[in-house]
Structure 1
Amino acid sequence: MAERVEFRERIPRECLEQMQVIASGGFGTIYRALHRDWRIPIAVKKLSRDTCSREELLAEARAMDKARFVYILRLFGLYEEEEEGWNSGPRLGIVMEYMENGSLATLLERVKPVPWPLRFRLLHQVALGMNYLHGLHPPLLHLDLKPSNVLLNLELHVRLADFGLSKFKRVTTKQGTERSGDEDDYGGTLEYMPPESLIDINYKPTPATDVYSYAILTWSVLTGEQPYSNLLPKCMSSLLRMHLPRGQRPNMEELKEITGVEGLEDMKELMKRCWHNDSWERPTFKDCSNETEKIFSCHKSKILPAVRQVQDVLMMMASSPSDESRPSVSVPTPAAAESSHLHTFPPSSLGVSEQCQTLRYEDRPCREDGNPNSKIKGQEFLHPAGP
């Protein structure tokens, strides 16, 4: 059904039923709903107040609609709602496919460990989706590539979301005032932003911007952790801004302990090339997808049981009475021969990500002791990028 629905320039509130909040973040609020005529579940992202004009959003949505590809989230049209107290016209948003399994961020936090065949397939599909976006004329940059913007369908296939919308995100400056993301930082998320964006006042994003973000996303998928999670928001973001341009990156120590996983060393080398300090030294997504295809091919024969394992875990968690109390769940090893291919990482200290959530680094809670002056040495959370 979804493939036959054409882009609509206006999808009014009256067309939607059973709207339920599923997440909120930098853009606004995200809902699950049922389309009254199409009879399919959809997702609605209502934008924050004064985010953009209808003309700006429509122009961006039309560009997004042209990017129809198997690993790209399907956009159905613009949402409009007359809302009380909304003086500058109707409340705006976008209507998209609903992804049953939420985001890659949710998966990484709830399932520990994600089986290696699935990890490599996820990384390969993200590279394929980004290669398609960059291959458009002109190239369509994502500018906020991270696990919470990689959504997963029932079969755990990738759908890239929120590409091109980062300019409309509300961001917070160090002084606590708000400005739109396209004024000087393009609405990206700090941990995933390339070093050149932190030091060059004339910085303009390029395809290499997304390649760097892909490297940090790769680190998260390989480790099951969030980058720089020892760092504390607001109080410590200045350390990231200082150390990343000097070549420091997420810690590699845990990855060094993992052995016997075919293709892992090649994936780590690709990751390091993608987060190179010099943007012109980073590979293209065509190069990346060629590499990830080779790596995933080594695990292709094991992908179906790996997917079924994770689906079973997610179904079990979905039937849990309380979402807030859900722990991360370990995936059992399918066979003794594969035991060396699985490595359990400690659960993240942060809570479970909400589906489709888009959060900025500065939005996360501060450290438990509440002391913004607590000292954390750079080497405790950062790792030299290496050659």
Structure 2
Amino acid sequence: MQSIMGNCFGQSAKCAHASSNFSGSTTERHSKAKLQDSTSSSEKTVVPLGNSKTKSSINCKADGSISNKLKSFSFIDLKNATKNFPPDSLLGEGGFGCVFKGWIDENTLAPTKPGTGKVVAIKRLKPESFQGHKEWLAEVNYLEQHRHENLVKLIGYCSESEKKLLVYEFMPKGSLENHLFRKGVKPIPWPTRMKIAIGVARGLTFLHSLDANVIYRDLKASNILLDSDFSAKLSDFGLARDGPTGDNTHVSTRVVGTQGYAAPEYVATGHLTPKSDVYSFGVLLLELLSGKRAMNDEAGTFVDETLVDWAKPFLSDSRRVLRIMDTRLGGQYSKKGAQAAAALALQCLHTDPKNRPAMIDILTSLERLPTSNVLPRNPQGMIDNHRGKHFNHSR
């Protein structure tokens, strides 16, 4: 699935925005893997959150009260920035809308001629999509409030009657999914894969460290965007939500996400915790190691199984664990690093969420791998164990 912020690899393969409710991507069409309780039109919190004000502001906040941290674009501005949304500027298309390449002035953010100024990705919501509007508003509010180097940057929005659009930074390398799974694409080297894993871990650690311990809820390769240096950023916060606070152990919610990535206890009960993201990270780490999709591998290696089911017997045996490694790497990876990463993935995939490590501990383990020298420690990307107060939220 092509990211909303990256290049399309040909118009013949429809590219979807990285939302769990989109059905146009290669992955989702291939696996029929969407999880959603279609009878529920809105989330119901069974366990008291103790932070209902924040939750309400995310789901119900009036468009007019969006902070001035973001640029408020007029529809005409964005129409001009894309030259009236022509097919040749289409980056992606999904159930809730289409994403177009546009150009704006670096300083004034006014629309400019194609090929001049700053390249951006502009997502235009379909007016008939009610659920899409809810996700649009959640995306605006989460990315407005929380800024971090491993979260995609939201530049601005447009809200004129039924016209709802979002303007993001453009990510030149597109989605991780395309680099891992698309045929004909040069394989990602081992050090770069670990760099990506560390970037994702930093983003999740930041979210989990916030006072609201934000749960991302839709971690998958298609939602990981890559800049020109293959630094990873989390995109699509339409399904994100505040986690449990106080004495509460979980949030009860409708089940949404992508099959193969979603934690089993969440699928079974609707109980959502930050450890749900940890499970999804374990699946993503397996994909980076093996080069295989979470579901329905095209090579037929595990047609009737998930990647987790197929890989677990190898992960638990240090002598066999290297059998899961992506053959396209040609053996060019650190054996000790691969074994350590596989052992970490196994911990993340523990059936009991209480036995899964916290993201801060996962991040620490990844940075200590033999390949960690390819990604120098960045004080701006670190946090303390308790909250993200050391981060720059207004970046």
Asked whether the two chains share a fold, i.e. TM above 0.5, the reply is: yes
Choose from 106, 124, 132 the match for 2:198: 124
User: Which has the higher mean CA deviation after the structures are superposed, 101-110 or 282-291?
Assistant: 101-110
User: Is 1:51 matched up with 2:130?
Assistant: yes
User: Is 1:76 matched up with 2:138?
Assistant: no
Q: Deviations over 1:118-166 (max 9, x none)?
A: 1111101110111001111111211110111000111111111013446
Give the number of the structure with larger relative contact order, counting CA–CA contacts within 8 Å between residues 6 or more apart. Answer: 1
Q: Deviations over 1:30-88 (max 9, x none)?
A: 2111126523111122234323486874455122222111111001122346xxxxxxx
Q: Is the 8 A contact 1:263 1:298 kept in 2?
A: no
User: Is 1:21 matched up with 2:95?
Assistant: no
Choose from 338, 346, 356 the match for 1:264: 338
Structure 2 CA distance for partners of 1:144 and 1:11, relative to 1, 3 Å: farther
TM-aligned CA deviation for residue 255 of structure 1: 5.0
User: Is 1:109 matched up with 2:181?
Assistant: yes
Report the 3-state secondary structure (helix = DSSP H, G, I; strand = E; otherwise coil) of the residue aligned with 1:154: coil
Report the 3-state secondary structure (helix = DSSP H, G, I; strand = E; otherwise coil) of the residue aligned with 1:120: helix
Q: Deviations over 1:300-334 (max 9, x none)?
A: 289xxxxxxxxxxxxxxxxxxxxxxxxxxxxxxxx
Q: Is the 8 A contact 1:227 1:250 kept in 2?
A: no
Matched residue type, 1:184: R
Q: Superposition pairs for residues 231-242 of structure 1, below 5 Å?
A: none
Question: Which residue does the alignment assign to 2:388?
Answer: none
Report the 3-state secondary structure (helix = DSSP H, G, I; strand = E; otherwise coil) of the residue aligned with 2:165: strand
Q: Superposition pairs for residues 293-304 of structure 1, below 5 Å?
A: 293-295=367-369, 297-300=371-374
Q: Is the 8 A contact 1:13 1:80 kept in 2?
A: no
User: Is 1:248 matched up with 2:295?
Assistant: no
Report the 3-state secondary structure (helix = DSSP H, G, I; strand = E; otherwise coil) of the residue aligned with 2:191: helix
Choose from 344, 348, 366 the match for 1:292: 366
Choose from 70, 78, 81 the match for 1:7: 70
For residues 350 and 118 of structure 2, the distance between their equivalents in structure 1, rounded to whole angstroms, comes to: 43
For residues 179 and 344 of structure 2, the distance between their equivalents in structure 1, rounded to whole angstroms, comes to: 23
Structure 2 CA distance for partners of 1:72 and 1:273, relative to 1, 3 Å: same
Superposition RMSD on alpha carbons, in Å? 3.3
Q: Is the 8 A contact 1:44 1:79 kept in 2?
A: no
Report the 3-state secondary structure (helix = DSSP H, G, I; strand = E; otherwise coil) of the residue aligned with 2:82: strand
User: Which has the higher mean CA deviation after the structures are superposed, 126-135 or 71-80?
Assistant: 71-80
Matched residue type, 1:33: G
Report the 3-state secondary structure (helix = DSSP H, G, I; strand = E; otherwise coil) of the residue aligned with 2:202: helix
Choose from 171, 181, 184 the match for 2:254: 184
Matched residue type, 1:12: F
User: Is 1:199 matched up with 2:268?
Assistant: yes
User: Is 1:30 matched up with 2:99?
Assistant: yes
Structure 2 CA distance for partners of 1:45 and 1:251, relative to 1, 3 Å: farther
User: Is 1:146 matched up with 2:209?
Assistant: no
Matched residue type, 1:61: V
Matched residue type, 2:309: Q
Matched residue type, 2:368: K
Question: Which residue does the alignment assign to 1:212?
Answer: 279
Matched residue type, 2:342: K
Q: Is the 8 A contact 2:336 2:370 kept in 1?
A: no
Instruction: Flag structure 2 segments of 5+ consecutive residues without an equivalent.
Output: 1-67, 110-116, 242-251, 315-319, 326-330, 377-395
Structure 2 CA distance for partners of 1:192 and 1:80, relative to 1, 3 Å: same
Q: Is the 8 A contact 2:262 2:280 kept in 1?
A: yes
Question: Which residue does the alignment assign to 1:90?
Answer: 162
For residues 197 and 370 of structure 2, the distance between their equivalents in structure 1, rounded to whole angstroms, comes to: 9
TM-aligned CA deviation for residue 210 of structure 1: 0.7
For residues 291 and 238 of structure 2, the distance between their equivalents in structure 1, rounded to whole angstroms, comes to: 26
Q: Is the 8 A contact 2:135 2:238 kept in 1?
A: no
Q: What's the TM-score once normalised by structure 2's chain length?
A: 0.59
Question: Which residue does the alignment assign to 1:344?
Answer: none
Matched residue type, 2:289: L
Matched residue type, 1:70: E
TM-aligned CA deviation for residue 267 of structure 1: 0.5
Q: Is the 8 A contact 1:9 1:58 kept in 2?
A: no
Q: Is the 8 A contact 1:13 1:79 kept in 2?
A: no
Question: Which residue does the alignment assign to 2:292?
Answer: 225
Instruction: Flag structure 1 segments of 5+ consecutive residues without an equivalent.
Output: 82-88, 168-181, 303-387
TM-aligned CA deviation for residue 104 of structure 1: 0.6
Choose from 232, 237, 240 the match for 1:163: 237
TM-aligned CA deviation for residue 193 of structure 1: 0.6
Matched residue type, 1:290: T
Report the 3-state secondary structure (helix = DSSP H, G, I; strand = E; otherwise coil) of the residue aligned with 1:191: coil
For residues 71 and 153 of structure 2, the distance between their equivalents in structure 1, rounded to whole angstroms, comes to: 12
Q: Superposition pairs for residues 352-363 of structure 1, below 5 Å?
A: none
For residues 294 and 198 of structure 2, the distance between their equivalents in structure 1, rounded to whole angstroms, comes to: 20
Q: Deviations over 1:230-262 (max 9, x none)?
A: 489xxx99x76xx89xx8354666953357523
Question: Which residue does the alignment assign to 1:374?
Answer: none
For residues 277 and 375 of structure 2, the distance between their equivalents in structure 1, rounded to whole angstroms, comes to: 30
For residues 216 and 96 of structure 2, the distance between their equivalents in structure 1, rounded to whole angstroms, comes to: 15
For residues 163 and 127 of structure 1, the distance between their equivalents in structure 2, rounded to whole angstroms, comes to: 16
Q: Is the 8 A contact 2:337 2:369 kept in 1?
A: yes
Structure 2 CA distance for partners of 1:255 and 1:104, relative to 1, 3 Å: farther
Matched residue type, 1:248: D
Q: What's the TM-score once normalised by structure 1's chain length?
A: 0.61
Report the 3-state secondary structure (helix = DSSP H, G, I; strand = E; otherwise coil) of the residue aligned with 1:221: helix
User: Is 1:277 matched up with 2:351?
Assistant: yes
Report the 3-state secondary structure (helix = DSSP H, G, I; strand = E; otherwise coil) of the residue aligned with 2:287: helix
